[in-house]
Amino acid sequence: MAIIALVSAKGSPGVTTSALACALTWHRRLVLAECDPAGGSILAGYLGGALDGPRGIGELAVGELRDGNLDEAFWSQLVDLDAPRRERLLLPGVVDPAQAGSVTPLWQRFADFFAGLERGQPPYDVLVDCGRLQVVGPPWPILRAAAVVLLVTRAQLPDLSGTRAMVRTIERDFTEHRVPPGTVRLLLVGGGHGNGEISKALRLPVIARLPEDPRTAEVLSLGGTVRAGRPLMRAAGALEVPVRALLERRRARLAWPAAAQGVPDAV
């Protein structure tokens, strides 16, 4: 399914929690990549800091800048979230702010590499936690390469105000870089204004709404036993269906002009 990116405008609407919930319920092979320049939190939080030694995108960036070895080193930097099956893998984010300086120049390199994973043997989808856009060195190349971009926001007025500004920023950037339309959708978190009202106000479709589930959110943030029957996990698992449908519609739309060029003109 190529790249599915999650991003937010400001605050803490639950991008990492949402991404991790999706990763733990995804039905296809998946790599969850923490690409938030402000730093990753899953290693210290959900995984409780249990791993020995450094691991993740920061280490990959340092190695790539020094040796150009991303293709060889990538798989050794992943954490198996469902060991030993290697069907749900985590690429941890930076843990040392100093690493962000090494990662930022490589966003395009990572975007190209992630896009190729769906054609690998075996193929992997890539779910990317891009964090907040209003930081130094946001991963724009990954957002531009994504097949689906999910703007994560709470459905309350202060959050929606920030999201409205982010929608316009993304629209301008995607227009400038000629990103095909139909990529971006809203992913709402918790209660508040209705889906139709928000979609009309922000001029962007709502793909789904994840429920408030503090107990599960705490486990995903701090560690513990994830229960598949909890509301957040059920909703996250169901999100794969509209995401896949959106991707298929977008691919069909992009393929149509190319296919039409090979059709003889009607007599």
CB 149 within 8 A of CB 19: no
Predicted confidence (pLDDT) per residue in 170-203, tens digit: 999 999 999 988 899 999 999 999 999 999 999 9
Q: What percent of the chain has pLDDT over 90?
A: 74
Quote the number of domains for the chain: 1
Predicted confidence (pLDDT) per residue in 16-33, tens digit: 999 999 999 999 999 999
Domain annotation covers residue 231: yes
Q: What is the chain's length? A: 267
The reported pTM is 0.92
Taking alpha carbons only, the member of 95, 98, 100, 80 closest to residue 31 is 80
Give me the sign of the Cα torsion angle 251, 257, 261, 264: positive
Peptide bond into 84 cis (omega under 30): yes
User: What average pLDDT does this structure show over 105-114?
Assistant: 96
Name the CA dihedral angle for 217, 221, 223, 224, rounded to a multiple of 10 degrees: 0
Q: Provide the CATH number for the domain around residue 22.
A: 3.40.50.300
pLDDT confidence of residue 101: 85
pLDDT confidence of residue 1: 61
Residue 89 banded pLDDT, cuts 50, 70, 90: very high
Residue owning tokens 């999100």: 239
Instruction: State which residues form the domain around 18.
Output: 3-255
Domain annotation covers residue 266: no
